[in-house]
Amino acid sequence: MKAKITSIPVLDQEKALQFYTEKLGFIKKHDVPLGENNRWLTVVSKDELNGVEILLEPSPNHFEPSKIYQSALFDAGIPYTQFNVEDLQGEYDRLMALGVSFSMQPTAMGNVKIAILDDTCGNKIQLIEML
C-alpha cells in the first residue's frame, strides 16, 4: 500500500491552482472537468513529478461539514497539512516577496524549523525544514 493522492479542501479551485502553481511552485498534473464547474484538479511537486498528487478538492462548496471543519482549523490557526522544504528561510523570503501571508515566521522547534502560511483558499499550510 502507498499514498498516491491526498486532498486539500479549497474554496475556489482556480484560485487554488494559481496559488499552488504560481506561488508554491507545484505543477498541474490533472485537470478534468466534472460538471457544475468542478474539476478533478491535481498538482505535484516539480521535484517529484510521479510523487504524491495533491487534489485541490472543492468539497467545502458541496459538503457543509467540510466547510465547518476547514473554517474551524483556519480560525484556530491549525495547519491543514504540511510541506517539507530544504531551506525554510529561503522559501519564506521567496514567498514573502511574492506577497504570501504568513501567520508564523520561521521558528525553530527542537529538530525542526516551521512556518505557517495562508493558502488564500481557506487553509493554513505549515512549511517544515528538518534540522
Q: Where are the alpha helices (DSSP H) in 1-131?
A: 13-18, 64-76, 88-97
pLDDT for residue 39: 96
pLDDT for residue 60: 80
**pLDDT 10s digits, 47-71:** 999 999 999 999 888 889 999 999 9
pLDDT for residue 121: 95
Give me the chain's average pLDDT, please. Answer: 96
The pTM for the full model equals 0.94
How many domains are contained in the chain? 1
CATH number of the domain at 18, please.
3.10.180.10
Longest CA span, the chain: 47
**Domain with 85 in it:** 5-130
pLDDT for residue 36: 85
